Amino acid sequence: MDNKVVIRKEDFDKDPSTVKFKFLEEGKEHSGFIVLFQQKYYAYKNKCQHLAVELDWDNNEFFEEEEKFIVCATHGALYDPQTGKCLMGPCLGKNLEILSIKIKADELIITI
């Protein structure tokens, strides 16, 4: 049976913004997040590619001040919100782990 998470589009308060969620994978709880950026949705595991830490500095705060890049609160790495690629920092060139997302009329379904 698939592990699915359903997020409603109305949970996003602006563009850009994020919604954080929890999921089970191999019996362990992990977190992920969906990014609404330039009117498109992207889903990633909430795990830095440099250290095995969550990216958000405060619960569900993933963007840097200018809201152009996802930032790792631990060491300041910057990730492209559309691709998950690290553009600056110790994980340069690596990518966030992408989660499968299905977009419906008013909800987003993430399948783990």
Nearest to 32 by CA among 41, 16, 19: 19
Separation between Cα atoms, residue 73 and residue 70, nearest integer Å? 10
pLDDT at 1: 41
Whole-model pTM: value is 0.94
Using the predicted structure, report yes or no on whether residue 22 has a pLDDT greater than 80: yes
* CA 15 to the chain's CA centroid: 14
CATH for the stretch 4-111: 2.102.10.10
DSSP designation for 47: -
**Predicted confidence (pLDDT) per residue in 37-96, tens digit:** 999 999 999 999 988 899 997 889 999 999 999 999 998 999 999 999 999 999 999 999
Separation between Cα atoms, residue 75 and residue 54, nearest integer Å? 11
Domain borders along the chain are 4-111
Compute how many other C-beta atoms are within 10 angstroms of the C-beta atom of residue 67: 14
CA torsion, ordered 83, 71, 29, 82, to nearest 10 deg: -20
Q: Number of helices (H) and strands (E) in the chain: give both, helices first.
A: 0, 9
**Predicted confidence (pLDDT) per residue in 95-111, tens digit:** 999 999 999 999 999 99
